[in-house]
Structure 1
C-alpha cells in the first residue's frame, strides 16, 4: 500500500505535549492501530522507514517522541557516542509512570482515529522493545512485538532504575512476540532465559525468536544491520499483527 503524507500531532500527556508522527495507508478504509516506540535516538531515518514499512502493510502507526519532556520537539539524536550518552542518560531520568502515560496517550489517539478499527498493537526495538512490553500491560493492546528489549531482564528502566515490568507479566492479556539477537550484549543469554522463564511462569501467550545477530540488527544503518534477518523478522511481524489484530 502507498501512504498518505505523514501527519504530525501534539498529544497531551500528564508530563506535557508530545510530538507524534502518524503514518497510514493512502487507501480509504479502517486499519488496526500500532503504537511504534523508537530507540533512544528518537525518530531517526531507520525508525521512520521501519514504521512506514508497517504502515504500508495496512496499519495506522503512531510514533511518539519518547523524550518529549527533555528535548525540543523534532530533536533526533545522532547514532554516535554523544547521541548514545544523551539517550541513555534520559532513559533513566524519565519516570516509568511517564512512559506509561505516553503509551496511554498514543493508544487513546489511535483508538479514536477515523482510519482505525480500534484494534491496537505495539512495536519497538531496543528501549522501544521494553516500552512495547509495557504497552502490552494496557488491557486494550492485543499484540506487542518486542525487538531485543533492553533493561527488561535487569529491571532498570526509568528513574530509580527499578521497574516492575517483568513482575507484572501476568497482567498481559494480549499476545507477545519477542525477537532477540544471540550476539547482543545488552540482552545476554542469562537475561533472555530470565525473560522466557518469567513469561512462561506467568502464563503469558507469547512466541519467541532468536537469530544469530547483533543488537540493532533491524536498523538499516551501521555495520550491525542484517538485511536478510531484518526481512525475515519484519515479515513475521506483519503476519503476527495481521493474525492478532484482524
Structure 2
C-alpha cells in the first residue's frame, strides 16, 4: 500500500491557456528544485477550481508531477464560476448545484474536445514538463472529461483515472464510454457505491475490454458520490486514501516517474 503523506508546499503558478473559444484561467503545481517532470491534466468536479482542488494538485505535485488544473467554465468568466461556501454541506448543495447546472449542460462534448486539445498542447510545452506521455485524471463530471481527452488523444495520454464519476456511462449517443475502445492508456475508475448501476459498470468494463488496455474498476466501500472532496459532506478520509493508493501507482507505472 502506498500512503500519501503531507508534503511541503509546492511551487505554483496561475496561468492562462489560449483555446479556440477564448482564454482559460488555470492553476499549476509542480515539484520544487527545477527539472522536468511528467505532466498530469486534472479536471475538477462540477464545483470547479477552489482551495481543496489546489491542495490535491499540490499533494500530487509532491510525488513528482507537474499538475495543470484548468477552469472548465472559463467561457462564463474567471474562476470561481459561482460563489462557493467554504464547506458545501447538504443544506448548501441544492442552491449551488442549481447555479452550476446551466454551465454543466453548456459544456458539450464538442467544447470538451476543443478544450482538451488546447490543454494538452499547453501542458506539454511548459518548461517544467518532460517530453514523455501525460496522465489525465478527473473527479465527478471531470472523470467524463478525462475519458474524452484520453480517447481523443491516445498517442499522448498513457494513464487516465476517474473518481466518483458522473456522466461517464449514459444513454446518449455521445456518452464518453462509447469511445473507450479507442483508448491506449492504462485506466483506473474508482466508484462510490451507487455511482453506476451494475449494468452501467458492465458496459464500462465491456468497453475497456474492447480497448485491450490494463484497467481496474473498483467500488470503494462505505463511500458516497464526491468522497475525495474534503470541503463537502460526502468526504471520506478512507476513500481519499484509497484514491491515492490507486492513483499513484497508476501514474508511476504509466509515466515512468522517478
Counterparts in 2 of 1:204 and 1:86: CA distance versus 1, 3 Å: farther
- Structure 1 contact 120–143 (Cα < 8 Å) conserved: yes
Matched with 1:224 is: 234
Matched with 1:61 is: 67
Q: TM-score, normalised by structure 2?
A: 0.86
Q: Which 10-residue stretch deviates more, 100-109 or 77-86?
A: 77-86
**Of the candidates 183, 189, 201, which is equivalent to residue 178 of structure 1?**
189
- Structure 1 contact 155–166 (Cα < 8 Å) conserved: no
Following superposition of structure 1 onto structure 2, how do residues 1-246 of structure 1 map, counting pairs within 5 Å? Answer: 2-70=8-76, 72-77=77-82, 78=84, 79=88, 80-118=93-131, 119-137=133-151, 138-139=153-154, 140-156=156-172, 162-184=173-195, 187-212=196-221, 213-246=223-256
Count residues in correspondence.
238
Return the offset for 1:155. Answer: 4.7
Counterparts in 2 of 1:121 and 1:92: CA distance versus 1, 3 Å: same
Counterparts in 2 of 1:175 and 1:155: CA distance versus 1, 3 Å: farther
Q: CA RMSD in A?
A: 1.7
Q: Runs of at least 4 residues of structure 1 off by over 6 A?
A: none
Return the offset for 1:20. Answer: 0.9
Matched with 1:159 is: none
Return the offset for 1:223. Answer: 2.5
Q: TM-score, normalised by structure 1?
A: 0.90
The unaligned stretches of length 5 or more in structure 1 are 157-161
Matched with 2:4 is: none
Return the offset for 1:231. Answer: 1.0
Return the offset for 1:27. Answer: 1.8
SS of 2:116's partner is helix
The unaligned stretches of length 5 or more in structure 2 are 1-6
Q: Distance in 2 between matches of 1:64 and 1:74?
A: 10
Q: Distance in 2 between matches of 1:191 and 1:125?
A: 18
Q: Distance in 1 between matches of 2:63 and 2:250?
A: 12
SS of 1:61's partner is strand
